[in-house]
Chain A
Amino acid sequence: MATTGSSGRAESAVSDPAERAPGRWGLKSAVLGVLLFLNVPVLIVFLYAFTTDDQAFTFPPPGLTGKWFEIAWDNQDVRDAVWLSFKVGIVATIAALVLGSLAAAAVARTRFFGRETVSLLLVLPLALPGIVTGIALRSSINVLGIDFTFWTIVAGHATFCIVVVYNNVLARLRRTSGSIIEASMDLGATGWQTFRYVLLPNIGTALLAGGMLAFALSFDEVIVTRFTAGGSQRTAPLWIFDSIVNRPRNRPVTNVVAMAVVVVMLIPIFVAQRLTSDASLLGAPPTDDD
């Protein structure tokens, strides 16, 4: 549909002939349709969080109310689940920050045998189906005789969060000159001073962005968590899953928790987006450009 009316006139190189083609309206409405398809469903959940309907799911909602928010807030199960998700997210993010930036520093600054494999290895938990990671971790936790606790959830989450931090920090380190560290040391700074005043200001936003994305990833996760959580451990996504599958009567509260989880996740994402332009959204390893 691009160049139907194209002629040899000079200005056709400047103004796209397809601007005037009737086919563009078809394209525009297709674009609009796809964008609606992608974004309306979550908004529907938001709408249902306010519906007065507590049994069926009549659309449009017969009336709107805010009472479910109050009921959800008073629900101890819900509070515990959201709080557990927070704690897991924070601890998993810290672990991912430490391990991810160590790996990034090693890969960015040194050449060694198997250097290319590190990226591949770290992205594996995101690339393989979640069920593989989940079962693998569960069976080795079983074999080792470890109880399923808070810490087993954290271990699972940290495993797939590392790569996000790694990608962000690595991308930043590649754009930062290594000589500034040498200069700092030559000028007599201690290792700590160099880290604090030279390295950290340079990679700080990358760390923060990577950490935010890692937290969001952890807060979102349900597939691996189902395998690594103990019987009494329920993160917010696990609570929602349980409600959807086993407790259809709990729908109004489920809607509220669903909305809350989406809103809570968006905050770190927006922060990460503001902080850096190289936040790798798909967890794909950065291209090796040196």
Chain B
Amino acid sequence: MGRRASAFLWRHPKLRLGLLLGPPLLWFGGVYLGSLLGLVWQSFYTFDDFAGKVRHDLGFDTWERLWSNDTNRIIVGRTVVMALAVTVACAVLAYPLAYFMARYATRRVKALLLFLAIMPLWSNYLVRVYSWKLIMAKEGALPWSLDKVGLGKGLEWALDLPYIGGQGLTFSLLGQFIVFTYVWLPYMVLPVHAALERVPRSFVEAAGDLGAKPATVFRSVIWPLALPGVVAGSIFTFSLTLGDYIVPTIIGNSKPVIGAQVYVYQGVAGNLPLAAAFTFVPIAIMAVYLTIAKRLGAFEAL
């Protein structure tokens, strides 16, 4: 019986494929894609401000409201700037580590360094965010260490800066920036390292032999070859910052970012259409970003 069934399936590859692919596709088509399409659909509903209810007539009202609202545009701008700043900081921090791993580390040291770079990814994300609330508290480890090395004044000065400063690091955009950089940095280290691994050592040596200064070697040999890796890493750091609402809830001044605003719209405000429309802003931004990334060859470096 079982044998006959397997023979039957062997003779009918289409049926076999259907049986294999059916359940996962049903799940994804039904549960996931269905929900995503439902979300698109919802964004065409209208929210009645007076009744505080969603009206089920389709139209572009919600989308118009999303664009015409200055607050929303400011929120999008703020989130994108933060995502870009975090991406640049991650690239700057990841580069020396990745470079060292790719060029100087012995096999065993490299394995250890990779482990230490990936380790944070496998610690609880929320705990990692929380750790900075402890570290950046007024009496916490960071202000303490800065005081010890005589940089306490520097911190005060930074917190006095308009816009990015605040009551304390925990309550400032500066602090938020540090935490985002910390949380997503490993996602940058891995692709940059992978890209640098592929830069042939002989290229660098040849450039040196031909009289190029280290800065020139970096600018005209290493950087162009490592760029796809940096762009690949930036896809992660940029996208993850763009959609995150946990970090801004825990660290920062209460100025909303895209994710937090979406959460407010769907929760407290009960304006699901606007929340739905708003979630497509980061997706649209990412689509543009990915198109540029593809041009720069990032997908070969993933």
Q: Which residues of A contact B (CB under 8 A)?
A: 1-4, 6, 8, 12-13, 16-19, 23-24, 27-28, 30-31, 34-35, 37-39, 41-42, 44-45, 48, 56-60, 98-100, 102-103, 105-106, 110, 112, 118, 121-122, 124-125, 127-133, 135-140, 143, 155, 158-159, 162, 185, 190-192, 194, 216, 219-220, 222-223, 237, 240-241, 244-245, 254-255, 258-259, 261-262, 265-266, 269, 281-282, 284
Let me know if B100 is at the binding interface, CB within 8 A.
yes
| Cβ-defined contact, A59 with B24, below 8 A | no
* Bound Cα distance A35, B100 (Å): 12
- Identity of the chain A residue whose Cβ is nearest the Cβ of B22 in the assembled complex: A102
CB of B164 within 8 Å of the partner chain:
no
Contact indicator B17/A262 (Cβ below 8 Å): no
Contact A39 B23 (CB under 8 A): no
Complex interface: chain A residues within 8 A of B205 (CB):
2-3, 6, 12-13
Asked if B165 is at the interface of the complex by the 8 Å CB criterion, the answer is: no
Q: Which B residues touch A259, using CB under 8 A?
A: 127
Whether B39 pairs with A139 at a CB distance below 8 angstroms is yes
CA distance A37 to B243 in the complex (A): 23
The residue that A244 contacts in the complex, of B93, B100, B244, B250, with Cβ under 8 A, is B250
* A6-B209, A269-B122, A281-B121 known; A57-B137 Cβ under 8 A: yes
Instruction: Give Cα A118–Cα B21 distance, bound, in whole angstroms.
Output: 10
Closest A-B pairs by Cβ, 6 of them: A129-B243, A3-B208, A191-B6, A136-B35, A41-B131, A106-B20
Q: Mark B93-110, 1 if CB is under 8 A from A, else 0.
A: 110110110011000000
Cα of A284 to Cα of B121 in the assembled complex, Å: 14
Residue contact A102 to B125, C-beta cutoff 8 Å: no
Is the pair B21, A106 in contact by a Cβ cutoff of 8 Å? yes
B residues near A, CB below 8 A?
Answer: 2-3, 5-6, 10, 13, 16-17, 20-21, 23-25, 27-28, 31-36, 38-39, 42, 93-94, 96-97, 99-100, 103-104, 113, 116-128, 130-135, 137, 139-141, 144, 182, 185-187, 190, 204-205, 207-209, 214, 217-218, 222, 236, 239-240, 242-246, 249-250, 259, 262-263, 266, 272, 275-276, 279, 282-283, 302
Q: Is the CB of B186 within 8 A of A38?
A: yes
* B190 CB, nearest partner CB in chain A, Å: 7
B245 touches A131 (CB 8 A): yes
| Residue from B28, B97, B126, B243 whose CB has the most chain A CB atoms within 10 Å | B126
Residues of chain A with a CB closer than 8 A to B5's CB: 191
For the complex, would chain A's binding face be called helix, strand, loop or mixed by DSSP majority?
helix
Contact A59 B144 (CB under 8 A): yes
A99 engages B27 (CB within 8 Å) = yes
Does the CB pair A138–B266 fall under 8 Å? yes
Q: How far is the CA of A86 from the CA of B80 in the complex (A)?
A: 36
The reply to whether B182 and A131 contact each other, CB–CB distance below 8 Å, is no
Give 28 pairs: A residue, B residue, CB < 8 Å, sorted on A.
A2-B103, A2-B205, A3-B205, A3-B214, A27-B99, A31-B97, A34-B93, A42-B127, A44-B134, A45-B134, A102-B21, A103-B24, A121-B33, A122-B28, A132-B279, A136-B32, A136-B36, A140-B31, A140-B38, A159-B28, A159-B31, A241-B246, A254-B130, A262-B124, A265-B122, A265-B123, A266-B123, A281-B190
Query: Given A23-B214, A185-B10, A191-B6, A216 and B122 touching (CB < 8 A)?
Result: yes
Contact status A190-B249, CB under 8 Å: no
Q: Is the CB of B239 within 8 A of A129?
A: yes
For A194, A222, A282, the residue with the greatest tally of chain B CB atoms inside 10 Å of its CB is A282
Q: What's the nearest-Cβ distance from chain B to residue A33, in Å?
A: 8
**Are B262 and A135 interface neighbours, CB within 8 A?**
yes
Rounded to whole Å, the gap between the CB of A215 and the closest CB of chain B is: 12
CB pair B250–A245 under 8 Å, yes or no, is yes
B24 touching A99, Cβ below 8 Å: yes
Contacts of B250 in A (CB 8 A): 244-245
